[in-house]
A and B are shown apart, each in its own frame.
Chain A
């Protein structure tokens, strides 16, 4: 009843396969999808995977670098599959051990004639009927062997076990204590005394009001509220300078739209977005202490393993890995990786290394560390091409604007990073339209207006401004404003539309629905989730719920989910860079930008190796 069973090497060569009705095409697509989502995304901890109607179970042989995959229809529940994989693994390994050890050329030329053995094993597995568990009779249970004495519940005091009579004596005084307090209250004197106390408790309020009345004789002071005022106060509250235009929002004394000389120097900077450099030198001392514990462990296992490896080859067992992986997992959590992500990563590394034969002079800790490093770099490296400038040029070619939408929870830096990205795009010669779709937060539109003014004075371009803000005030529907902004951009020839949305909590359902509506109606080219690097375990929850909301409320067959992540406030975290891992692992989407400060040039691209080095230091 199996759809297919394949044995392939990790380097891509299929050594043997069985396909139902010998239809070859049946297994390449599911297996490729399986490899892409499970192995390449380091979700190797779980042993099952579903692709369409096919459920796949798999097993990794790390000694010979093979993977065994079985696929069957997911509506069937086959109980013998696990045992079948184990049997096939053992028999294949034993039979072709020599060819597998000889290397790639041997694997290519050898003829793995496994069909008959497999048919035999399959028949055995199918016919082993797993008997349902027989119920035990009473005579076989443990209860029938207990004596009545042993069933009595005794007090935990050691004396009570010896003398039953003493037990009954202890029990009686306790019962008497319970009864006594109610007897006391029946006493009438007590009742009167308590009523007096109760009254006295009430009176302090009366004394308070008396005190108030005494003070009132000096006359009531008029209370001045900070936010209130009347028309009489207009003269006091008028901050406007008659020489200022409205665009400076009341800032006086700064000409040129408020740009200083230093800020004007930002135009001279390179057009590149520089690569991220993670600080590690300054933290050398503080990092030394957490490193002591794992390094001690490394030394002890290292010396021991050195001698054992000189003697013979050693295969890694799960217990060997468990200790080292536990330490690694704690180290990662200490670097701000979400707890469940650290666990899953370590499970995946353990699945990859179990049964592997160590070479000489290789220690368990060094192998684990190297494997973990490879997995982390693999997660941080983008799975698809990330080149926004190229995509903008492509959109320019078909004369439509490239639309980028920013979403995220409150206070992560959406508007700030939107301005930074606009600065970079303008430096590369594009015209940007900013759509103010945050119609809720006070000052959101003014904030974007200030950014627009500053960006325009940094890149003055005749009468056609390079950057323009499209806003419709507060309280309006965000999706509608976005649609109008995109149409305006198309008419007036703007290359890029940046949509700034309001911050929202991930479990606020109406707001999630409205975000999903904005994305569905306007179909942006890029939906960027803005997350701050300070976040810890929350990152996983935020991303999951945002993705879920975008998928659920979209009513489309292929919903447009989050395409990329902007990691902000990176300058605040020193080397605790784990949030990057949590976010990319949860969504599988790349980190497109990293924000490292509050001024316009503070935008970087992610360097996976540097981040992983800082993480594993």
Chain B
């Protein structure tokens, strides 16, 4: 643009009338102006595309404390079993999916959100805008004991404003299948649906994010009624979300069974 101006400047000094200006705009000047406009347009389009690509490429590992998220995360990302303790902060790492039919691999960000109730909502809020897939890890050995906490957490996730906006794919991984008392995924699905049936009523009667308006049109989902009203809750009824179940085990079991995370890997590849 600068050399364009220089060229035009020299001519501008001798400019006297309007018809001269029209002459100036001919030939090379027009080409130069048009090319600069095209370059600017191209760069903005590329920038928008590039930003759009990295915008939602995270897979978030969520679940209550002790479900085995950090262990599973370590297995997936590095293939190694590590000792873990209760997480206080998130774990973040890049992961390359295996090559699909056309031979392309994707690069996704795996984020392991700590499960302790006091910090999980804060940390989840930091990462939820980039979510592409939600991996909800459930401890299959302690399913019956923790079912209420798990159900409340799933309810909070499904009624979260931003999660509803982006509608990520959801996988509920029944972890710790190596334990003797581990329940199968069908049993856990049944337990969860049963519990969510009750929870959707009690949670919506409990919270409201609106202030003194008694109108029921609240913003953050306290009147979002999961599933169908007159039927008991089922995950299939959720038309916004695609919820799948799978079994996995992140650690070598007592019978030294294999570590099974293939189903999880397949789901990640399909994102």
Contact = CB atoms under 8 A, between A and B. Distances in A.
A6 B112 CA distance: 21
Contacts of A103: 93
A271 interface: yes
B210 A274 contact: yes
A383 B207 CA distance: 17
Contact of A104 (B83, B91, B118): B91
A39 B85 CA distance: 13
Contact of B85 (A32, A65, A381, A390): A32
- Interface range, A side: 35 or more
A303 interface: no
Interface string A1-41: 00000101111111001000000100010011001100110
B116 A40 contact: yes
A323 B219 CA distance: 41
Given A11-B89, A14-B84, A104-B92, A393 B211 contact: no
A13 B118 contact: no
Interface stretch (A250-258, A372-380, A526-534): A372-380
B117 A393 contact: no
- A interface, over-half SS: mixed
Contacts of B78: 105, 108-109
Interface residues of B, number: 46
B118 A382 contact: yes
Nearest to A36: B86
A455 B217 CA distance: 28
B212 to A, nearest CB: 7
A35 B88 contact: yes
B88 A11 contact: yes
B238 interface: no
A389 B210 CA distance: 20
A281 interface: no
Contacts of A105: 77-78, 93-94
A322 interface: no
A109 B209 CA distance: 44
B8 to A, nearest CB: 40
A377 B119 CA distance: 8
Interface in B60-109: 70, 74, 77-78, 80, 82-94
Interface in A361-404: 374, 377-379, 381-385, 387-390, 393
B149 A270 contact: no
Contacts of A24: 83
A378 B120 CA distance: 9
B230 interface: no
Contacts of B232: none
A28 B210 CA distance: 43
B114 A12 contact: yes
Given A273-B207, A374-B122, A389-B202, A383 B87 contact: no
Contacts of B119: 40, 378, 381
Nearest to A392: B202
Interface string B113-127: 010111101100000
The residue in A32, A108, A605 that gathers the most chain B C-beta atoms within 10 A of its C-beta is A108
A381 B91 CA distance: 22
B142 interface: no
A11 B83 CA distance: 12
Contacts of B205: 271-272, 389, 428
Interface in B158-214: 198-199, 201-212, 214
B70 A13 contact: yes
Given A377-B122, A385-B117, A393 B198 contact: yes
A263 B210 CA distance: 21
A275 interface: yes
B203 to A, nearest CB: 7
A554 B74 CA distance: 46
A272 B213 CA distance: 12
Given A13-B82, A377-B122, A385-B148, A390 B198 contact: yes
A389 B206 contact: yes
A268 interface: yes
Interface in A462-479: none
Given A10-B89, A378-B119, A387-B199, 6 more contacts: A6-B85, A11-B88, A14-B85, A28-B83, A104-B93, A274-B210
Interface of B: 70, 74, 77-78, 80, 82-94, 112, 114, 116-119, 121-122, 148-149, 152, 198-199, 201-212, 214, 216, 222
22 contacts: A10-B88, A11-B70, A11-B91, A12-B70, A13-B70, A13-B74, A13-B84, A14-B83, A24-B83, A28-B83, A39-B88, A108-B74, A109-B80, A270-B214, A271-B205, A275-B209, A275-B210, A378-B122, A387-B148, A390-B152, A390-B198, A605-B206
